[in-house]
Amino acid sequence: MKIKLNAVPEEIMRAVEILSQYCQENQIPEKIIFSLKLALEECGSNIINHSLKKDKTKKISVILKINDNLITVELHDQGPEFDPTKINLNEGRKMTEERTVGGWGLELVRQNIDEMNYLRENNTNILTLKKYLF
């Protein structure tokens, strides 16, 4: 399933609702749906706010796939090249008040997703989030 969005926050929430419904229709457990929704909202918001600067003329695409025991969420945008998998803020620290500002959302994504991969292809950022069903 492919969802095309304008680069505004409301659109990411629409994609989160579509993801939730798609997963429910495919009888995905609620715990997994929660993790996927959190990851999509955080990553999509980061793309819209930081990469595309909330420019409603710019687009982001979300591709949802369910295969056997794997759910894949791909986010495509044509913002500046940025690989969130290389970000390693406050390595070795737990999520406490000691941490510097920033990176909390990405840390939550990492805790809720099994794999996160990045690819830059044809001037497009492709962020792939994977969650295994079992």
Indicate the residue type of 30.
Answer: E
**Ordered alpha helix ranges (H), the chain:** 9-25, 30-46, 104-112
Q: How far apart are CA 93 and CA 57, in angstroms?
A: 39
Query: Mind listing the pLDDT tens digit for each residue in 31-50?
Result: 999 999 999 999 999 999 99
The reply to whether CATH 3.40.50.620 applies to domain 2-132 is no
Q: What is the pLDDT of residues 81-124, one digit of tens each?
A: 999 999 876 554 555 555 455 568 899 999 999 999 999 999 99
For the chain, the structural domain boundaries read: 2-132
Question: How far apart are the C-alpha atoms of 85 and 106, rounded to whole Å?
Answer: 9
Token digits for 39? 């990851």
Q: Which of 133, 93, 87 is nearest to 110 (CA)?
A: 87
